[in-house]
Amino acid sequence: MPVINIPSGKLHVQELEGNSEDTVILIHGLFGNLSLYYFNIAPQLSENYRVLMYDLRGHGKNSKEESGYHLNQMTQDLEALIDYYELEKVHLAGYSFGGLIALKMAMIAPERIDKLMIIDAPDLSGISEEGFDQIYEREFIKPYLQQHENTHKEVESFIRKKVDKNISTYNFLMHKTALLFDLTLDKNLFYHPDLKYITNETLLLYASSSCFAKDGKTLSAILPSSSLKYLEGNHSMPMISGRQVGKELHMFLKELNEYALTVDQ
């Protein structure tokens, strides 16, 4: 298990080497882990890019932490990861809360970020604990189980264990950590006055049936160099339609690179 040391502790990281010096860092959302990308999205991107994935603090194979779930700490961890690998500039793709980390990073360290890919990132204002419970059940658990309801019993058992592990992480973070309080510190990120100064080329990839679908339009109106695209599905889109998500990310990076080469010529 690749583990690196950063100022806040140890960080579980996975890397897929590509045919380019350009690096894409993939950031998962709350209650998940880097496996969101590892088996589907990351391999597609690694055809042309070096890909780094990591577990957020308190998630996946990292140690369980009682605090530090606000965006300031999360972006410090991300910048420490970039420093560890001695990268001058990276592309960032973040799903859900991971998208908020990517946005915050582009605000505080724009010189370290090239292109941004924001996947169904939520506006946190107005989301209560009860709201989180409803969203988690409706957007994660039910669609995931429905997708695999006709699978072989051995596969079904594996899926059930995976869901149980995810629920365990959810219960720990929601009820035994400062997560809910920390999220209140960042609830107005979409309305931060510096957000409009993010000039990175940005793909806003949202699910048409997600409870956060409207948030894509909010960001699109704020970010001057963004393009908004909707795919079918709900908030669990990267899990259920990972191949399509990977294709969209790859196309976005490839099209911009080809445009840059044309301009340079």
Query: Could you give the number of structural domains in the chain?
Result: 1
Residue 141 belongs to a domain: no
Q: Give the tens place of pLDDT for each residue, 54-110.
A: 999 999 999 999 999 999 999 999 999 999 999 999 999 999 999 999 999 999 999
Distance CA 70, CA 98 (A): 12
Which residue in 21, 14, 56, 61 sits closest to 39, CA to CA? 14
Residue 109 belongs to a domain: yes
Q: Give the tens place of pLDDT for each residue, 4-45.
A: 999 999 999 999 998 788 999 999 999 999 999 999 999 999
Residue 45 belongs to a domain: yes
Residue 150 belongs to a domain: no
Whole-prediction pTM value? 0.89
Crossing angle of the two packed helices 129-136 and 153-175, in degrees rounded to 10 = 170
Q: Give the tens place of pLDDT for each residue, 131-184.
A: 666 777 666 666 656 555 555 454 455 455 666 677 888 889 988 999 999 999
The CATH number of whichever domain residue 75 belongs to comes to 3.40.50.1820
Q: What Cα–Cα distance (Å) separates residue 29 from each residue in 94, 131, 188?
A: 7, 16, 18
Q: Classify strands 202-207 and 113-119 as parallel, antiparallel or unpaired.
A: parallel
Residue 118 belongs to a domain: yes
Which DSSP symbol is given to 73?
Answer: H
Q: Residue 197 belongs to what domain range?
A: 3-125+180-264
Residue 13 C-alpha from the chain's centroid: 14
